[in-house]
Amino acid sequence: MNFHALLRFTHITGFAAWFGTIFATLFLLKTLEPGLTGEQKQAEEHSLLLRRFIKLETKVADVAVISVLFSGLLLAHFYEGWKPWVFAKIGLMILQIALTIGYIIKAIQPIAYPCDAAKYRAWYKLFAISFSMFGVVLLVTFFLR
């Protein structure tokens, strides 16, 4: 396998892993919602499970994001060139990461369980941000290029 194919494989696999971790978290949070918005005892147990999952999910997502960024930069440097579209994609990736981290700090970290359903919806807003940004990145990458 040549270097270009290996970089593209790494880039696509990293992006898919990153996207997959977001979906996995969404499914887990949807499953845990009754327990995290219910009675205290169950919320404590589900909260511990959620924290453990998020810790593991973050490790996978971090590796995926780093592999996407690093392989993307190598692809740009060696094969694509530093075109305006490359800078647009870099900017979108940075924006996605900044929006996600900012929203997590602002709205997700302060949640204490059990919480009411209205406060729990902050999780779904986080996924709306993430999936919207994934959509924009894919739109720019495949359709507007």
B/e letters for 115-137, b = 16+ CB within 10 Å, e = fewer, are beeeebebbeebbebbeebbeeb
Instruction: In whole angstroms, give the CA distance from residue 58 to residue 66.
Output: 12
Lowest-pLDDT range of 41-45, 67-71, 134-138: 134-138
* Among candidate residues 17, 11, 18, the one with its CA nearest the CA of residue 130: 18
The average pLDDT across 42-58 equals 96
* Among candidate residues 56, 51, 42, the one with its CA nearest the CA of residue 114: 42
User: Is the pLDDT score of 1 beyond 80?
Assistant: no
User: Is the pLDDT score of 145 beyond 70?
Assistant: no
For tokens 């499914």, name the residue: 27
Q: Which helix (H) or strand (E) holds 145?
A: none
**What local confidence, expressed as pLDDT, does residue 144 receive?**
75
pLDDT in tens, 3-18: 999 999 999 999 999 9
Range of 36's domain?
A: 3-142
pLDDT, averaged across the chain:
94
**What local confidence, expressed as pLDDT, does residue 141 receive?**
81
pTM of the model: 0.88
Q: How far is CA 131 from CA 4, 30, 34, 138, in A?
A: 28, 16, 23, 10
Instruction: In whole angstroms, give the CA distance from residue 9 to residue 113.
Output: 40
State how many domains the chain has. Answer: 1
Q: How far is CA 33 from CA 38, 85, 119, in A?
A: 8, 40, 11
pLDDT in tens, 79-129: 999 998 889 989 999 999 999 999 999 999 999 999 999 999 999 999 999
User: Could you tell me the pLDDT band of residue 131, with boundaries at 50, 70 and 90?
Assistant: very high
